[in-house]
Amino acid sequence: MRFTKNLWFYIALAGAPVIILIVWELTHVEFLLHLAAIPLEVLLAIFIVERFLDERYKKEQRKHLMFIKSYLFRSQMRNLFITNFEALKSPSFTMSRIRDSSLEELKQMRKDANTLEYKSLEAMEPVITEYVEAEAVWHQFREWAVDYDFEDIFTDMIYILHFIYDVKLFKEKNYGRLFVHEAEKRPQLMEKVNKVLGDGIQKFLDYTIELKEQEPQMFHDLISDYELSSQIRSDAMSTDGTI
């Protein structure tokens, strides 16, 4: 970033030794050889300092994003993640288990999440619906990714948004039908469904690990909120089932 802003300055530093060496060839003044090395040393020092500053800037922005994610995960995205976890058949992850896990146990859970199985196709549909309803959040993340130059997050958001547009287009033309049933007929589309939903579980666990390492209290508060919401949802479903 800073490199491109000061490109002409760097070109001048890199070119200065060439000019000095040409003069040395003509004059053979020994001092000029020492002088020629100075711009290169300055250039090297600048590269080292700017790389350090860029890395520190990235680290600060990542931490800032961590706090933003905490807010979104506890508000607009809470139902999405809870619905996704509840739809899983294996591995079975509960919020109580996540909350009580050590850092090493969380990391093992994350490894286990590389292979996911859902209870049924129908159980996946509410998760898909939650992704569509959270469309504004994905746009927010996309904008932040651009602002903070997080290419990996930007790529993920574009993938999710393309998936959401697929779902919305299908729903507009096929009212009342399940998108996941259509995806089942099309391997490429089903691959998208599995990737988006699976990535959701994996990214959530990645985030819990990050919080556990860096912000343990925030980790506890987040998972406690999720645990309470899960209990409320479970109680509401039990009540509905008895009416």
pLDDT digit string, tens, across residues 102-131: 999 999 999 999 999 999 999 999 999 999
pLDDT for the residue numbered 1: 46
Angle at 214 between CA 211 and CA 220, to 5 degrees: 45
Q: How far apart are CA 87 and CA 117, in angstroms?
A: 9
Q: Indicate whether 84 and 158 sit together in one domain.
A: yes
Q: Indicate whether 85 and 181 sit together in one domain.
A: yes
Q: Indicate whether 229 and 115 sit together in one domain.
A: yes
Percent of the chain topping pLDDT 70: 72
Residue ranges in 75-186 assigned as alpha helix (H)? 78-87, 95-100, 103-112, 121-133, 135-148, 151-173, 179-185
- H/E stretch holding 117 reads strand 117-118
Rounded to a whole number of angstroms, the distance between the first and last alpha carbons of the chain is 62
Domain hosting 97: range is: 75-242
Q: Each residue of 23-51: pLDDT tens digit? A: 656 666 566 555 556 655 566 666 666 66
Q: Indicate whether 105 and 195 sit together in one domain.
A: yes
**Long-range Cβ contact pairs of 12-19 (< 8 A, separation 24 or more):** 13/39, 13/40, 13/42, 13/43, 13/46, 14/39, 14/40, 14/43
In a domain, 59, yes or no: no
The residue that leads in pLDDT, 127 or 76, is: 127
Q: Indicate whether 165 and 120 sit together in one domain.
A: yes
Q: Indicate whether 102 and 193 sit together in one domain.
A: yes
> Does the global pTM surpass 0.75?
no
In a domain, 10, yes or no: yes
In a domain, 136, yes or no: yes
Q: Indicate whether 100 and 49 sit together in one domain.
A: no
Q: Indicate whether 45 and 81 sit together in one domain.
A: no
Tally of structural domains, the chain: 2
Q: Indicate whether 211 and 138 sit together in one domain.
A: yes
**Long-range Cβ contact pairs of 131-137 (< 8 A, separation 24 or more):** 131/80, 131/160, 131/163, 131/164, 131/167, 131/196, 131/197, 131/200, 132/164, 132/167, 132/168, 132/171, 133/80, 134/76, 134/77, 134/80, 135/161, 135/164, 136/76, 137/72, 137/76, 137/77
C-alpha dihedral over 190, 195, 200, 204, to 10 degrees? Answer: 150
pLDDT for the residue numbered 232: 84
Q: Indicate whether 113 and 189 sit together in one domain.
A: yes
In a domain, 67, yes or no: no
pLDDT for the residue numbered 47: 61
16 contacts 39 by C-beta, under 8 angstroms: yes
Q: Indicate whether 21 and 118 sit together in one domain.
A: no
Say yes or no to pLDDT of 154 above 70: yes
